[in-house]
Structure formats: structure tokens, C-alpha cells
């Protein structure tokens, strides 16, 4: 592990942070209350943001709705130019964003860069694909040759987004991108401790041509602002805990609006008997400890075929012990800080509970206040059993448990023995076998011979969860279609679709029955 020091130094703030008060002015807030944003690196202030009220949420939504009326009339090409320009400027100015993400979220710079890549990929994809996915489509009408049917996609109106703290730039903007490109306005509440990354993205998008007021930001406590967001929204996008997701789903049901929820995960990794051992170990380290394990698709359970268990565990221990821990705005370390004292307390409680009940610490297992106040060692546990909290509950930290299995069928059963189903990986040289096994896993995303990047980054395909991991999908066609209302417009140019005058209904029904039998035999008629 990283060398210890007597007291972790305060992380220097770069000069561009002098713009934070300017960014904070983009928060819709009518009162003087302010909140201090502190860095997990050293618990020192980053800046202050205004605190919004429920009335501010209503005002933001009203303003956004007014701007949306004009935005919805713009062509797809006009909208796309803005987001392609944004794509380029995010890459050009990534150093600013990396500093902000690191300071707000506490992660290592390499993992902060994943957010830059995600924003660029999603911007490019939907800028190029929105028109194809949302353009009016001709559909088969009821009576071939007489009924012409069209499917239209209209924006919902105002989309409410509640974004999490763990990926403040990526989650702060990538759900907004398809919503905006579909013609909607957005009112978003980033997490109160990571608002500046989202505000930076909004400021940059306005610089790229996004109309002022189309994307509104409110800041404050979730339970205080959540009901106002729900009341103002035509659609609700949420990323966070399963418990809060259930509340949002109930409230959305009461309002009869749609919602998309990406919730918790207890993601498994399956290492089959023929796996490339070195690749699987490298994948396990990256999948378990990226962003200090505070990643919705990170690995928390590893199932290894018994024939590989001993060398795999030894290799995982050796690789984990080599990881460099640190805090600071540079590329020199591989695992950063946990985000909050609450998150550190959860990790400590899960590890302590497991050890007290018989689990074995293979490596790690301790907080490292000598490096940073919220830093915790990457931790590998063995002999974890039912009854331990972390056996089934999401830890959301740098902790992974390793188990053995004897057959592929057993591995699938044990991977599926969870109320969560967000992400999984399978490691095998037989990729056909891996693909077949993947379809048996109750997970929204399964990657063969990679942990999360290949599946999550393949944005032409949808991503989301089964079971308690959520509803709806982001990415792909579903990631933008969910922000639209579907309209069927049918033009009929033939005889009335009802019994002609003087023809009994029964006789008409017999005639239509014969026509249906004939259509059944015609090729190309659906």
C-alpha cells in the first residue's frame, strides 16, 4: 500500500476553481441559504452553493417549460450541432473537469477520466442517432392499401433528473443529453456534495449553444425537493438507492407518469475453469476497486472454479497489495477516497460484521486516515457466509468477497441468488460458452472477459437492472425513446370500417372473418 505520512496534507485547489461562484449562480434559488461543499480528499471546503426550495423547483420547471416550447420546434440537425460541439469541448477542457470530479467525488484521476470518456461517447452517439431513432415511421395500417399509419415521437415536456454523487459529471449530464436531444427541458438535482461537476457541464453546454433556461439546476436535500420535482415533472429519471427508487416509483404511479430507476447492485464475477488467470485477476482488481468500489456496476462477489481458486486468490491478493492509495489531483495513485463519513462507516460496519462472524481478511480491511480522512484499503475477503451483512447487501466500497464453485450450473445459480441484477462478468476462453451462460444470468448487463467498461461503454445497447436494481434503461434506443410520447396517426381512404347500411352485423363479421383468413396467407402482411 501507499507509504504513510504523519498527517495528510490539504490538497491544493487549482486556479480555475475561482470560477465556482460563477457556476453556483446557475442554481435556481431565491433565498440566501447556502451550503458548503467539501472535498473527500481533506474535508476542506471546495466552495458554496445556494440551497433551493420547493418553490424554486416549481419556478425552474415553469421557466424550463417555456423555453422547451421553442426547443421542441428545432430540427434534429440544429440540436445535434450543439452536442457535437459539446463533445469536442469536453475533451479539450478535460483537465478542468478532472480536477472538479476528483475534488468532489474523491476518486483517482484515471477513474475520473472514465467520466470524460462517458460524456463524450454519449454525446456523440445521441447527436448522430437521435434523428434516426425519433423520426416519424410508417407503420402497417389495418387495411392494406386503404389505411396508412404513422408513428410519431413527441417530447414528454419537462424531465426531472436526480443524479448521484459517485459519478458527478457522467451521471450529471449523460441522462440529460438524450432527454434534451429528444426535445425536452430538464430540471435536475445533483447531489448536494457534488454539484459543481454538473454545473460545469451546464455552463459548457450553454457556451456551445444550448438555450439558457432549458436545463435548470436546483440544489438541496432530496426529501425536501423530491416531492416538488415529482409534482413538476412529466418524466422522472433517478439513480440511487433501491429504497428511494421504490418511493419514486410509487409517486410516479400516483401521477401516471413514467420513471426510469437505476438502483443498487451486488454484482457477481464468474471465473470458469478455462479462464485466462492473469486476465481474470486484472479484471477483478479493476472491477472491484475502480472509484474505490463506489460504482453501480462494480464487482462485489467473485465466484471461482475450485480448480483455480488457490492461484486466483493468491494472485488477487498480490495484485491488490500493489495498488497505490492516495489523494490529490494527479495520476500517480490507483485508488482514491471514499466519498463521505457515512460511506466509510458502511464499509467499516460490513467488514467488521463479516470478520466477527468468521470471514477471513485476505488483504486490506483497514481505514487509512494517514493517507486521507476517508480512505479505506482495498479489501479481499474469503469464507464469507450467509448471515453476514455483506453476503447479500450492497457495500458500495472497496470490498470484494471470493467464493468457490464446482460446476458452471452452480456458478449461475449462486450468481442469480440475489435480489439485485445490474451487472455481471464471465471469464472464459470459450466465448460461445460465455455468451450462453450470460443469457442465464438475471442481470441487465453481462460482459464476457471484461468487468464493466465494455458493456457500459457499448452505448448502442441498453443498460439497466433486473429485480431490485431498477426499472427502465439508459443508452441505446430505449435511453432516448423513454423521454418521448408515442402517437399513432392513421389515415383511412377506404370504405367505413363498420357494417354498411342494410348489412347485418353478423354477416359483416363473417365477411371480415374471411378477409382475415385470406390476409393470414399473404406474405409480408403482419
Beta strands 158-162; 235-239: pairing state: parallel
* Spatial distance between the Cα atoms of 397 and 289, rounded to a whole number of angstroms: 8
Q: Which residues contact 350 (CB under 8 A, 6 or more apart)?
A: 389, 390, 393, 395, 397, 399
Q: Is 288 exposed, middle or buried (0-12, 13-18, 19+ CB in 10 A)?
A: buried
Residue 31 DSSP symbol? S
* Spatial distance between the Cα atoms of 182 and 179, rounded to a whole number of angstroms: 5
Active site residue 478: no
Phi-psi region of 358 (alpha: psi -120 to 50; beta: other; left: phi over 0): left
* Spatial distance between the Cα atoms of 258 and 156, rounded to a whole number of angstroms: 10
Which helix (H) or strand (E) covers residue 97, if one does? helix 94-105
**How many CA atoms does the CB half-sphere of 447 hold within 13 Å?**
23
Taking each helix axis from N to C end, the angle separating 242-255 and 222-232, rounded to the nearest 10 degrees, works out to: 30
The rounded Cα 416 to chain-centroid distance in angstroms is: 21
Active site residue 296: yes
Q: Give me the sheet containing 267-271, strands edge to edge.
A: 360-363, 379-382, 399-405, 299-305, 267-271, 423-427, 445-448
Hey, how many other C-beta atoms are within 10 angstroms of the C-beta on 39?
25
| Torsions phi, psi for 120 (to 5 deg) | -65, -45
Place of cell 460504482: 295
SS3 206: helix
Q: Are 303 and 405 in contact (CB under 8 A)?
A: yes
Q: Is 69 exposed, middle or buried (0-12, 13-18, 19+ CB in 10 A)?
A: exposed
SS3 464: coil
> Helices in 417-452 by DSSP H: which ranges?
431-438
> Helices in 322-399 by DSSP H: which ranges?
341-356, 389-392
Here the cell at position 330 is 494527479
* Spatial distance between the Cα atoms of 232 and 237, rounded to a whole number of angstroms: 13
Hey, how many other C-beta atoms are within 10 angstroms of the C-beta on 432?
9
SS3 453: helix
> Helices in 11-53 by DSSP H: which ranges?
20-24
List the catalytic residue out of 104, 115, 188, 262: 262
* Spatial distance between the Cα atoms of 388 and 171, rounded to a whole number of angstroms: 31
Sign of the alpha-carbon dihedral angle for 90, 93, 94, 99: negative
List the catalytic residue out of 208, 259, 296, 363: 296
Q: What positions carry a catalytic annotation?
A: 262, 296
Amino acid at each position: 500500500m501507499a507509504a504513510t505520512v504523519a498527517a495528510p496534507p490539504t490538497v491544493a485547489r487549482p486556479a480555475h476553481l475561482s470560477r465556482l461562484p460563477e457556476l453556483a449562480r446557475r442554481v435556481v434559488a431565491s433565498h440566501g441559504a447556502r451550503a458548503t461543499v467539501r472535498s473527500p480528499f481533506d474535508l476542506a471546503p471546495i466552495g458554496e452553493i445556494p440551497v433551493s426550495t420547493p418553490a424554486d423547483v416549481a419556478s425552474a420547471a415553469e421557466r424550463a417549460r417555456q423555453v422547451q416550447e421553442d426547443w421542441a420546434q428545432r430540427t434534429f440537425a440544429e440540436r445535434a450541432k450543439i452536442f457535437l460541439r459539446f463533445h469536442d469541448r469536453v475533451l479539450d477542457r478535460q483537465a478542468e473537469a478532472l480536477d472538479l470530479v476528483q475534488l468532489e467525488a474523491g476518486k483517482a484521476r484515471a477513474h475520473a477520466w472514465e467520466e470524460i470518456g462517458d460524456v463524450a461517447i454519449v454525446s456523440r452517439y445521441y447527436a448522430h442517432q437521435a434523428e434516426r431513432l425519433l423520426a416519424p415511421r410508417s407503420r402497417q395500417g389495418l387495411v392494406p392499401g386503404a389505411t396508412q399509419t404513422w408513428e410519431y415521437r413527441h417530447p414528454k415536456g419537462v424531465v426531472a433528473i436526480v443524479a448521484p454523487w459517485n459519478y458527478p459529471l457522467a451521471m450529471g449530464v449523460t441522462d440529460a443529453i438524450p432527454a434534451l436531444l429528444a426535445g425536452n427541458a430538464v430540471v435536475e438535482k445533483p447531489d448536494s456534495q457534488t454539484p459543481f461537476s454538473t454545473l460545469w457541464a451546464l455552463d459548457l453546454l450553454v457556451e456551445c449553444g444550448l438555450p439558457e433556461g432549458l436545463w435548470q439546476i436546483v440544489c438541496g436535500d432530496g426529501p425536501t425537493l423530491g416531492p416538488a420535482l415529482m409534482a413538476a415533472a412529466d418524466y422522472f429519471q433517478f439513480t440511487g438507492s433501491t429504497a428511494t427508487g421504490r418511493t419514486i416509483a410509487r409517486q410516479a404511479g400516483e401521477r401516471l407518469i413514467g420513471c426510469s430507476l437505476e438502483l443498487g447492485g451486488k454484482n457477481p464475477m464468474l471465473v470458469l475453469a478455462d479462464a485466462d488467470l492473469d486476465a481474470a485477476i486484472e479484471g477483478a482488481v479493476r472491477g472491484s476497486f475502480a472509484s474505490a468500489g463506489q460504482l453501480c456496476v462494480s464487482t462485489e462477489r467473485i465466484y471461482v472454479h475450485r480448480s483455480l481458486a488457490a492461484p486466483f486468490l493468491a494472485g488477487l491478493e498480490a495484485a491488490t497489495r500493489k495498488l497505490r492509495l492516495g489523494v490529490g489531483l494527479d495520476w500517480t495513485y490507483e485508488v482514491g477516497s471514499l466519498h463521505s463519513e457515512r460511506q466509510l462507516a458502511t464499509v467499516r460496519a460490513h467488514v467488521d460484521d463479516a470478520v466477527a462472524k468468521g470471514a477471513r481478511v485476505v488483504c486490506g480491511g483497514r481505514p487509512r486516515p494517514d493517507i486521507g480522512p476517508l480512505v479505506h484499503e482495498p479489501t479481499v475477503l474469503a469464507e464469507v457466509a450467509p448471515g453476514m451483512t455483506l453476503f447479500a447487501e450492497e457495500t458500495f466500497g472497496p470490498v470484494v468477497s471470493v467464493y468457490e464453485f464446482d460446476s458452471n450450473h452452480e456458478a449461475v445459480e449462486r450468481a442469480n441468488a440475489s435480489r439485485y441484477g445490474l451487472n455481471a462478468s464471465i471469464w472464459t476462453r470459450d466465448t460461445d460458452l460465455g455468451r450462453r451462460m450470460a443469457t442465464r444470468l438475471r442481470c441487465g448487463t453481462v460482459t464476457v472477459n471484461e468487468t464493466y467498461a465494455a458493456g457500459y461503454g457499448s452505448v448502442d445497447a441498453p443498460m439497466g437492472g433486473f429485480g431490485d436494481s431498477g426499472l427502465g434503461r439508459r443508452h441505446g434506443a430505449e435511453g432516448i425513446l423513454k423521454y418521448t410520447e408515442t402517437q399513432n396517426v392513421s389515415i383511412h381512404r377506404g370504405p367505413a370500417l363498420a357494417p354498411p347500411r342494410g348489412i347485418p352485423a353478423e354477416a359483416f363479421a363473417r365477411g371480415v372473418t374471411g378477409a382475415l383468413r385470406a390476409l393470414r396467407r399473404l406474405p409480408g402482411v403482419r
